[in-house]
Amino acid sequence: MVEMSVPVLRSSAFIALLAGLALGADPANITELQRGFQHPPDEARIMVRWWWFGPAVTKPELEREMRLMKQGGIGGFEVQPTYALELDNAEKGIKNLPYMSPEFLEALRFTGEKAKELGLRMDLTLGSGWPFGGPHIPVELASPRLRVARAAVTAGAAAINVPELQPSEKLIAAFLGNQELEAAGSQSFRLPPSAAGQVTFFISSHTRQTVKRPAVGAEGWVLNHYDRAAIEQHFKSVGEPMLNALAKTPPAAIFSDSLEVYNSDWTGDFLAQFAKRRGYDLKPYLPALAGDIGEKTGAIRNDWGQTLSELAEENYLKPLTAWAHQHNTKFRSQTYGIPPVTLSSYSLVDLPEGEGTQWRHFSSTRWATSASHLYNRPVTSSETWTWLHSPVFRATPLDMKAEADLHFLQGVNQLVAHGWPYSPPSVGEPGWRFYAAAVFNEHNPWWIVMPDIATYMQRVSWMLRQGKPVNDVAVYLPTHDAFAGFTLGRDSVNQAMEGILGPKLVPTILDAGYGFDFIDDGAIAAGGVPHKILIVPGAERIPLATYQKIEEYRRDGGKVFFTKRLPSLAPGLREEGDTAKIRELSAKHVVTGDDGLAGALHDALPADFTAPPEIGVVHRKLAYADVYFLANTSNHAVKGAAKFRASGMPAAWWDPVTGKSSKADLNLELAPYESRVLVFSRAGGAVMGQAMSLPEVDISSDWTITFPGEQPVKMATLRPWTDEENRKFYSGTATYERKVTATPAMAAAHVFLNFGEGTVADPASERRAPSGMRAWLESPVREAAQVFVNGKPAGAVWKAPYEVDVTGLLQAGENSIRVVVANLALNVLAKGPLPDYKELTAKYGEKFQAQDMQSVRALPGGMMGPVKLVSK
């Protein structure tokens, strides 16, 4: 692993960059904090990944969709040109604009200028699909790999022929066991007498990976992330034309998706680069990359992995950041995957982004937020809702919230929705959609509550940008153990960490009541350990410099706990001399068992919070307040007392859905998937008073229901409208209306319109997408609603508790209640027929496979009941 040098991190250019990225100062006092919470700035709004299919885009439709985003509470978008969904069709107004054509670039220019006019942030994927590449990348600059070919030795043979090579391949060496063979000309190798077994040939080759989900005209090889010439060619052919088109309105950031260059573990000049960096010739040790050659295997693989990581940083990440700055923009990056970048590789990008909901395990999301905390990046985004509740159009507003909260619990404070499909009206309902994602545009009937959903996420995102994170614990990532475990085609640091850390460590820390970050060698070298506690989880290989820094931290009062085993090896082959010193340092320590870790943490430092394991907690500290975000991650209500380190000050609950506040007594009572903000401050802040309690009023019967363009129909008992055969495949809205008589006491009370509790969903009732998630709770209002009392908007119903505060809207005497309910677009999709992409595939090849279409079926819609007026 490359260790970031202090001069790089503390250069004047780097400090200036951080100053440019820093957010405005924290609110000066609790009153300003509360005002910001109630009315957060647009910069905290969610963003969307905007898929331009084809791209078959037109200026009028681009503008229409941007205006819809603004109306829906969305703050901006990331343009992602991708595969076509229809052939050119003049009657429908569909024309696929070839990628990088003048027409495409003009559409990009228009979008940039219109986004600026509308006050929308625009980011730009610096390519089509992922990873970067395309027709401008020749095979010489394409993603490389080390190919191994094996051939059996013929008895008595004096030589063995070289296997057939592709024109772009180059033979490096041949081995019989661990013995390197001597070439006998250009086409064979000499064999020793009585040779037997197999000869292994090592060949500098290419992965042959092509860009995934490319737009028309963007097809081609994935570029070599280890060769600067490849990204320079990409800048010239793709980056420069797009940024020239956006010269008047540069994007806020250019974007690089997760590194998914599968099997990329070599490059043409790797042997020379390796010798330069590691100080020895790798060629005689190549068998260690394909098998076990004995005790040196791990050290050699470490050196191989570390070299790959350095090359990716120097020839991909650094040039991208520099190029972005030259073009008056920033670089946002999902810096994980293959090539094997490290946590500290994020120090080379402006805007870290993560992905993944595994808040109680290792995840690429916490990997990104940890880097942001360590390298002073105030905002961390995440790719959110990929694969959410597959199949497409099955996701509900509650699903959105349940997943978003898992990102917030890992420190994310900017959501990037995956995503928004460009979809012109001419293609009909339910519109175009990406093959593996939910849809967050107006084609979903529940779009009517999107502003409410977006405001919730905007409030939480903004609140989690205030002050500083309170994470007491740092978890050291044994990056060199990951490198040492690499084999050909399996060379991802973050994927290796899942196994290295194991399933118990993260839950133990969280359940003990602490926030935490990951930390690695680069971060420790740059700034030491800024946390109160450091856990070193089962590291075998550790750089001596890192261990010495840890010892310095311990001498200065830091608490260090080693789990599973103590470090015993230096990382690389030429660092073997450090092993004795490492073992000498380890002799001063003992191993803390998994079962004893929580107790050891408590002995070292009182817990920051105590709450049931279903409740996730994030703590931010300001000069005048402590802010805790709490989220119930389960499908059942959670009740009980909670404790917080900051509990010596007055506390108030701030509701991120409504912006309202109330006095807190620290007795938790969270509905399924409910979340709140708990604020401790000596200054207090405005809170709502408590009202009298009155008997409930059941209003579950005698409603009328009206569908668009139809006459009202009386509904004596609430039931799904989809029970009617002619409504089974209906996707849209229906309006429920009823009169209610309120007593003077009720009109004066604090009253909620309550729609009942949700129903726990049975996991056996549907197949769950393997890499997605859902909320295991069905709403009593399928799937969302807007509520009006006496013609005035009262709020939206889309998550638990399923109720709306109607205080002040009821009047003594007769009142009218109107509830506009929206279901899923899934029902109209289920009506069929499902799209047939045969002609599209015949023309462009198979660019995608729509996921989980066998699970498409109509679902209940409407208001289920019971409905009550409840005072609190």
Residue-wise pLDDT for 246-257, tens only, equals 999 999 999 999
Residue-wise pLDDT for 24-80, tens only, equals 688 999 999 999 999 999 999 999 999 999 999 999 999 999 999 999 999 999 999
Question: Residue 770: is it exposed, middle or buried by C-beta count within 10 angstroms (0-12/13-18/19+)?
Answer: exposed
CA dist 709 and 642 (Å) reads: 52
Nearest of 593, 622, 629 to residue 683 by alpha carbon: 622
CA dist 829 and 177 (Å) reads: 59
- Decide which of 288 and 594 is more confident: 288
Residue-wise pLDDT for 18-30, tens only, equals 333 445 688 999 9
Q: Which residues of 735-757 are buried (b: 16+ CB within 10 A; e: fewer)?
A: bbebebebeeebbbbbbbbbbbb
Helix, strand, coil tally for the chain in percent (to 5): 30, 25, 45
**Is pLDDT at 800 greater than 90 in this prediction?**
yes
Tell me the pLDDT band of 647, cut-offs 50, 70 and 90: confident
**Per-residue pLDDT, 666:** 87
Fold classification of 697-871 is: Jelly Rolls (2.60.120)
**Per-residue pLDDT, 68:** 99
CA distances to 450, 649, 661, 799 from 37, rounded to whole Å, are 19, 20, 10, 20
Q: How would you write 840-851 as a 3-class SS string? A: HHHHHCCCCCCC
Which residues, listed in sequence order, are joined to residue 159 by a DSSP beta bridge? 190
Residue-wise pLDDT for 817-866, tens only, equals 999 999 999 999 999 998 899 999 999 999 998 888 888 999 999 999 99
Residue-wise pLDDT for 299-353, tens only, equals 999 999 999 999 999 999 999 999 999 999 999 999 999 999 999 999 999 999 9
Nearest of 519, 547, 548 to residue 532 by alpha carbon: 519
CATH number of the domain located at residue range(s) 609-681 in this protein: 2.60.40.1180
- Domain positions in the chain are 41-143+213-250, 144-206, 350-442, 469-603, 609-681, 697-871
CA dist 850 and 866 (Å) reads: 38
Mean pLDDT of 651-675: 95
Which residues, listed in sequence order, are joined to residue 561 by a DSSP beta bridge? 535
CA dist 615 and 673 (Å) reads: 9
CA dist 187 and 162 (Å) reads: 5
Which residue in the block uniquely carries the two structure tokens 């002050």? Answer: 467
Element (H, E) at 318: helix 318-326
CB atoms within 10 A of CB 825: 25
List the Cα angle 116/120/124 in 5-degree steps: 85
CA dist 832 and 835 (Å) reads: 8
CA dist 104 and 106 (Å) reads: 5
Residues 6+ apart with CB under 8 A from 536: 476, 478, 542, 550, 560, 561, 562, 563, 567
Percentage, residues of the chain above pLDDT 70: 95
Single-letter code of the amino acid located at 373: H
Q: What is the DSSP string of 57-119?
A: --HHHHHHHHHHHHHTT--EEEEEEE--SS--BTTTTB--PPTTSHHHHHHHHHHHHHHHHHT
Contact 151, 180 (CB under 8 A): no
**Per-residue pLDDT, 131:** 98
Task: Tell me the pLDDT of the chain averaged across its residues.
Answer: 94
CA dist 759 and 378 (Å) reads: 39
